[in-house]
Amino acid sequence: MKKRLRIPPPIQADILTRSRRRCCLCTGLNRDIGVKRGQLAHINGDPNDNRPDNLAFLCLPHHDEYDGRFKQSKSITIKELTSYRDELYEYVRENLALGEVHTSDSILMAEGDPLLYDSILMTDGDPLFYVEEFASATNEFVQTLNDLSSILVQFAAELKRNRAHLQSIPLTNKRENKRYFDGRGERMNDYSKKFVEVKNRLAVAAERTLSTFNKAVVLLSDDESASHSQFLRFHAGVVDLKTFLENNEREAAKTSILVRAMPRGTSAYNKGRRKLTGALGDLAKTNRKAQEMCTETLIVLNDLSELV
């Protein structure tokens, strides 16, 4: 059997730097730009073809999925993966420029091993760039939370109207009841899609906000002219975001209680109710994860501010 060639460290470093450890399938399919643990995949399936153009960084689940793609179901094609990878590289160049990233053999992954290196502490470049990025990302984050609040308020109001309408329908009118419940099932499907969309936006906005924040703080901590008041302002900004998240979590929890208290109806209605409950549950998990990220960021900020 022909011995598998190891990807040369300079090529590994090039791919990792160009992708910033973002999985091109996560970004291409789900618009998830979070840093992932993963591996370098050989796009054409040849493990000895270590040309940069044949390599892409994939998270562990997507690497397993791509390597096992020759199944009956329609799988990710080579052209599709290459397109997502190139799209990711362009996004990184335009939005995540870090300056030069210093690499060494000690931080490069061994062939087939998960990536454990945290790129934030290797950030280099102009801190003002990341301060501006943080401000932009924060606006996007707040807008997403505002949109979520609006959807929750609209849905709660609609539930209230629906309860009043349901009470006005005679229980003996089966046709009217079926029409009502089926219509409510469709509306719950619509709201489920809205909650899934805002959940995905929230995950991306939180990651981008706190990632740019961390990089700005790391660079400012190296800046002799940085003041303690700058760190205090950053601290206040993250505390505000966490408070906003906590308020949204409470609103979503109230909505979940209302949904679970809804009566059973037709099959279409029950299915919509189940999908809505699941969407709200996933939203709650994303919200809590974002809060945990805020907490971790505040801990790092506190540690760094003591050095200023």
Among residues 122, 144, 173, the one where a domain terminates is 122
Query: What amino acid occupies position 29?
Result: L
The residue ranking higher by pLDDT, 293 or 249, is 249
- Whole-angstrom distance, CA of residue 200 vs CA of residue 192: 12
**Are both 153 and 79 inside the same structural domain?**
no
Judge whether 169 and 180 are in contact, CB under 8 Å.
Answer: yes
Mean pLDDT value across residues 52-60: 92
Those residues with Cβ within 8 angstroms of residue 167's Cβ, 6 or more apart along the chain or in another chain: none
Query: How many other β-carbons are positioned within 10 Å of the β-carbon of residue 118?
Result: 11
Res. 262: pLDDT tops 90: no
Retrieve residue 169's tokens.
């329908």
Among residues 122, 152, 185, the one where a domain terminates is 122
Judge whether 125 and 115 are in contact, CB under 8 Å.
Answer: no
**Interaxial angle between packed helices 78-95 and 9-19, expressed in degrees from 0 to 180 and rounded to the nearest 10:** 70
**Are both 153 and 290 inside the same structural domain?**
yes
Res 2: pLDDT: 55
**Listed range (46-50, 90-94, 286-290) with the worst mean pLDDT:** 90-94
2 located within any domain: no
**Are both 89 and 209 inside the same structural domain?**
no
Judge whether 265 and 181 are in contact, CB under 8 Å.
Answer: yes
* End-to-end Cα, the chain, rounded Å: 58
| Beta-bridge mates of residue 40 | 57
Kindly state the helix (H) or strand (E) to which residue 91 belongs, with its residue range. helix 78-95
Judge whether 275 and 192 are in contact, CB under 8 Å.
Answer: yes
Q: What share of the chain has pLDDT > 90, as a percent?
A: 10
Mean pLDDT value across residues 180-196: 86
Q: Which of 215, 201, 220, 203 is nearest to 292 (CA)?
A: 203
Mean pLDDT of the chain: 76
Q: Residue 53's pLDDT band (boundaries 50, 70, 90)?
A: very high
Query: What amino acid occupies position 256?
Result: S
The boundaries of the domain holding residue 254 are 127-305
Q: Which long-range contacts (CB under 8 A, 24 or more apart) does 122-125 make?
A: 122/98, 123/98, 123/99, 123/215, 123/218, 123/219, 124/98, 124/99, 124/100, 124/219, 125/97, 125/98, 125/99, 125/219
Model confidence pTM above 0.85:
no
Res. 19: pLDDT tops 80: yes
Among residues 69, 94, 122, the one where a domain terminates is 122
CATH number at residue 131: 1.20.58
248 located within any domain: yes
